[in-house]
Amino acid sequence: MSEDLKIIDEVTGSDYKWGFVSNIEADTAPKGLNEDIIRFISAKKNEPQWMLDFRLKAFNQWKKMEEPSWAHVSYPEIDFQDIIYYSAPKPKKTLNSLDELDPEVKATFDKLGISLEEQKRLSGVAVDAVIDSVSVKTTFRDELAKLGIIFCSFSEAVREHPDLVKKYMGSVVPYTDNYYAALNSAVFSDGSFCYIPKGVRCPMELSTYFRINSAGTGQFERTLIIADEGAYASYLEGCTAPQRDENQLHAAVVEIYAHKDAQVKYSTVQNWYPGDKNGKGGVYNFVTKRGLCAGERAKISWTQVETGSAITWKYPSVILKGDHSVGEFYSVAVTNNMQQADTGTKMIHIGKNTSSTIVSKGISGGKSNNSYRGLVRIGKNALNARNFSQCDSLLLGDKCGAHTFPYIECSNPTAKVEHEATTSKVGEDQIFYCNQRGISTEDAVGLIVNGYCREVFNQLPMEFAVEAQKLLAVSLEGSVG
Amino acid sequence: MLSIKNLKANIEDKEILKGLNLEINPGEVHAIMGPNGSGKSTLASVLAGREEYNVTEGEVIFNGENILEMAPEDRARKGIFLAFQYPIEIPGVSNANFMKTAVNEVRKSKGLAPLDSKEFLKLMREKMQLVQVDKTMTQRSVNEGFSGGEKKRNEIFQMAMLEPELGVLDETDSGLDIDALRIVADGVNALRDGKRSFIVITHYQRLLDYIVPDFVHVLYKGRIVKSGTKELALELEEKGYDWIKEEVEI
């Protein structure tokens, strides 16, 4: 409870709080995209031939594909030749301890409020921080290694665990999947890799922080999480970016592979720079996230709080292949000013007795547009599949838009699919009631909106829930006229 | 402490209050009665600062300040509390959280440090006992799924928490059965301390059996047309409002 108050106290006329630029010397590729750039990235990372081959195949596929246009968003055409595809902070020598970390990098984390040391000491969160394209440091590795858990940067995994990477990379999101997934597969520069062995319950929250720092850089990270039989992991991802006039592109791929009886919980708090009030600048967030419940009784949960980005295009999905497997999607998507979000999920039921839950809370303020887009597909062999979807939209003011595009494809008559949707406005009555108790209108909106999102926040790990509430309050400043 | 002079207010260009005068001293309980549409609830709304009402004339002086120019939250922080006739639901926000926010806002305006969780819980426990509400009520979302009686009790509980100088009860008795009425009235009486004042707006004399007023006023067509002591309420109960209407029309 005292956290709530701190949050309210902190909401004092701020713009984008994370809009600082770090002067870290960067090792940067020339602009543009061609085979040479891909070879450059691969060479920079000392990759084996098979990895380069994968990239080149993906690149050739990408060239044949077209940018998707079905989403309910609009933006000027992206010039893919005007983007820097690789930018690593220098120096890039191997670090043995946190003390060796570039002080600027460390200062950046401090500003973000995620001092690695703090995190390490106090909260027991293992952090893999990705600035621009390179994974800077993974903490807690040794401790995790004792349990057989591998948590490292993607490039390290390519070098040290090639069998695992070869086996699972692209198994959930193939490079042919969609335009941005193909692009990512061709140019991804780093990301996180995580493997939880059979029967191991990961004792701490695994966390990755992404931050786009260099101007005109695309961030193409790739995350692969594998939970072997009966394993459990909770994974947190946080994102911020400095304030810039131009649009920055972020096209990530996240793959989760859950074996029999495995459970993975993936939580995201996304706070990329949303652009200014007039819609100038901001991050284009085109992300492909998908989990595969490969074995029986596997469970994958996505929880996301999306407050940032100029454009969000993101559908964390679950393929329910194993019998009795479970997929969950809890989402809060906030748009303000000129932001656009088209986000939702896909639940693909293949196995018998599979079940999925979707809870989506959209909040629109300013002149923003917020769309929920979801697909529930019940395959013909998915006996007794269950889905429950709840999509709520909350409007602040009368210049914003909320849209819902639910798709249901059902090929099995034993399935039970439920969909509920509501649209509401923050009521004048509610605000006045708060006012009459001494609460200002701005704080009242924060309180009401947080209440509205509680179902989703309850799914987040504690520290993240607090951060999410803060973000929400900041994002909604000035959203009610 | 409260002085209302020649107050005129309208809503959507319809004049409801037509020159209302009222003086309240610390510790006094004033009952305001009157037939439907006489402006009782409008008075409560104007005191609390509801935007839909336009004040066209007059002043409301509370502890030496004209409050009509103040935002609703500032009036609340200065010690005016309105117990709503129809309390509002805020889904997902626990009563405890709501109250903690409110209590600390009020404290902040007085230059006091916010209560930490422990101090707040202690205060809450104390007040829950005072107005007889149970623990589960503070953990539930504000008014969500509350019965009529629970909502009204929650209003009194909030009043106890915020310790206002002036409590305005807008038809707090409406929709309550006799047992609920007694509990609510006991809560209000527990808050009478010789300094805190109350305006009790009601249709029925019944409530005044439990919350005994110092003065009773009859509001009719936007003006206070008759004032007296608690006996006036009994007379109204017995004879209705027609005789007053007749007196006024003459």
Distance, C-alpha A9 to centroid of its chain: 27
- Is B73 in contact with A436 (Cβ distance < 8 A)? yes
- Give me the pLDDT at residue A12, please: 32
Q: How many domains does chain A have?
A: 1
d(CA A215, CA A273): 13
- Is B97 in contact with A1 (Cβ distance < 8 A)? yes
Interface residue A422 vs chain B (CB under 8 A): no
d(CA B103, CA B120): 9
d(CA A121, CA A115): 10
Contacts of A438 in chain B (CB under 8 A): 73, 76-77, 102, 105-106, 109, 162
- Give me the pLDDT at residue A9, please: 38
- Give me the pLDDT at residue A109, please: 53
Domain of A394 in residue numbering reads as 2-475
- Of B50, B92, B100, which has the smallest distance from its Cβ to A451's Cβ? B92
Residue A461, domain member (yes or no) = yes
Among chain B, residues having any CB pair with chain A shorter than 8 Å are 48-51, 71-73, 76-77, 81-82, 84, 87-93, 96-102, 104-106, 109, 114, 116-117, 120, 141, 158, 162
* A469/chain B closest Cα distance in angstroms: 13
What digits encode the pLDDT tens for the residues B154-196?
999 999 999 999 999 999 888 888 888 998 899 899 999 999 9
* B98/chain A closest Cα distance in angstroms: 8
**Pairing relation of β-strands B223-228 and B215-220?**
antiparallel
Q: Is the peptide bond before B35 cis (omega within 30 degrees of 0)?
A: no
Interface residue A46 vs chain B (CB under 8 A): no
- Give me the pLDDT at residue B215, please: 95
B78-84 mean pLDDT: 96
Q: Is A212 exposed, middle or buried (0-12, 13-18, 19+ CB in 10 A)?
A: buried
d(CA A301, CA A233): 11
Write down the ipTM of this complex. 0.95
SS3 letters for A163-218?
HHHHHHCCCCCCCCCCHHHHHHHHHCCEEEEEEECCCCECCCCEEEEEECCCCCEC
Structure-model confidence comparison of residues B86 and A92, the more confident one: B86
**Pairing relation of β-strands A311-314 and A263-271?**
unpaired
Q: Do the Cβ atoms of A158 and A51 come closer than 8 Å?
A: yes
- Give me the pLDDT at residue A477, please: 66
Q: Is A93 exposed, middle or buried (0-12, 13-18, 19+ CB in 10 A)?
A: exposed
Question: 3-state class of B198 per DSSP?
Answer: strand
d(CA A111, CA A127): 16
* A10/chain B closest Cα distance in angstroms: 14
What digits encode the pLDDT tens for the residues B241-250?
888 888 877 6
* Residues 6+ away with beta carbon under 8 Å from B134: B128
- Is A436 in contact with B106 (Cβ distance < 8 A)? no
Reported pTM: 0.77
Residue A481, domain member (yes or no) = no
Contacts of B109 in chain A (CB under 8 A): 438
pLDDT at B127 over 90: yes
Residue A398, domain member (yes or no) = yes
- Of B87, B91, B101, which has the smallest distance from its Cβ to A4's Cβ? B101
Any idea which fold B2-39+48-249 has? Rossmann fold (3.40.50)
Element (H, E) at A157: helix A154-160
- Is A435 in contact with B88 (Cβ distance < 8 A)? no
Residue A187, domain member (yes or no) = yes
Dihedral through CA B195, CA B199, CA B203, CA B206, nearest 10? 0
- Give me the pLDDT at residue A91, please: 42
Contacts of A450 in chain B (CB under 8 A): 92-93
The backbone region for B30, taken as left when phi is positive above 0, alpha when psi lies in -120 to 50, beta otherwise, is: beta
Contacts of A469 in chain B (CB under 8 A): none
Confidence tier at B64 by pLDDT (50, 70, 90): very high
d(CA A463, CA A44): 36
Distance, C-alpha B89 to centroid of its chain: 18
Contacts of A437 in chain B (CB under 8 A): 76, 98-99, 102, 105, 158, 162
Cα separations (Å) of A481 from A117, A307, A398, A428? 42, 19, 9, 12
- Give me the pLDDT at residue A260, please: 96
Hey, which bits of A294-400 come out as E strands?
299-306, 311-314, 317-320, 326-335, 340-349, 355-364, 369-378, 386-395
Question: 3-state class of A52 per DSSP?
Answer: helix
Interface residue A459 vs chain B (CB under 8 A): no
Q: Choose among A360, A359, A349: nearest CA to A384.
A: A349
B101-130 mean pLDDT: 93
B210-239 mean pLDDT: 91
Q: Choose among A52, A268, A24: nearest CA to A132.
A: A24
Q: Choose among A200, A255, A252: nearest CA to A226.
A: A255
pLDDT tens digits in sequence order for chain A, 481 residues long: 344 434 333 433 345 555 555 544 556 777 778 888 888 888 888 889 999 999 999 999 998 888 888 778 777 778 888 877 777 655 434 444 555 555 655 555 555 554 444 444 434 445 566 655 455 445 567 778 889 999 888 888 999 999 999 999 999 988 888 888 999 999 888 788 999 999 999 988 887 765 555 555 567 889 999 999 999 999 888 765 555 555 677 888 999 999 999 999 999 887 777 777 777 777 788 889 999 999 999 999 999 888 877 888 889 999 999 999 999 999 988 888 888 888 899 999 999 999 999 999 988 888 888 889 999 999 999 999 999 999 998 888 788 888 889 999 999 999 999 998 888 888 789 999 999 999 998 889 888 888 888 888 888 877 677 777 777 776 676 665 4
- Give me the pLDDT at residue A439, please: 96
d(CA B50, CA B45): 5
Beta-bridged to residue A409, according to DSSP, are A377
Show the CA angle centred on residue A354, arms to residues A348 and A356, nearest 5°: 65
- Give me the pLDDT at residue A21, please: 52
